[in-house]
Structure 1
């Protein structure tokens, strides 16, 4: 049985750019989701007032 952590380290070692791109993508996705949620919350507050 191969240790999954060793495989992950090897993959990360071979693909630093892919890892960085994945991090940027997840960061952008979380940022977009935050903006969407905040906008929806502000609209809800404006409607209730």
Structure 2
């Protein structure tokens, strides 16, 4: 999640203005963050079942 957080400020930066927007997309962008949050929630739920 640290990589997502570091590049989140660049999510709207056009590719022509530097690599920040590219890195945001490389890390999965907003969809990647949402997936990671859902995955962490799933792992937490599975741990609680045990």
Unpaired stretches in structure 2, ≥5 consecutive residues: 1-17
Q: 1:33 aligns with which of 18, 43, 47?
A: 43
TM-score scaled by length of structure 2: 0.50
Which structure has more RCO (C-alpha within 8 Å, separation ≥ 6)? Answer: 2
Q: CA RMSD in A?
A: 2.2
Q: Which residue pairs with 2:33 in the alignment?
A: 23
Task: Tell me how many residue pairs correspond in the alignment.
Answer: 31
Higher helix share: 1
TM-score scaled by length of structure 1: 0.51
- The superposition leaves residues 14-35 of structure 1 with CA deviations (integer Å, 9 ceiling, x where unpaired) of x4xx400000000000000000
Kindly name which structure, 1 or 2, has the bigger radius of gyration based on alpha carbons.
Answer: 1
SS at match of 1:33: helix
Unpaired stretches in structure 1, ≥5 consecutive residues: 1-5, 41-49
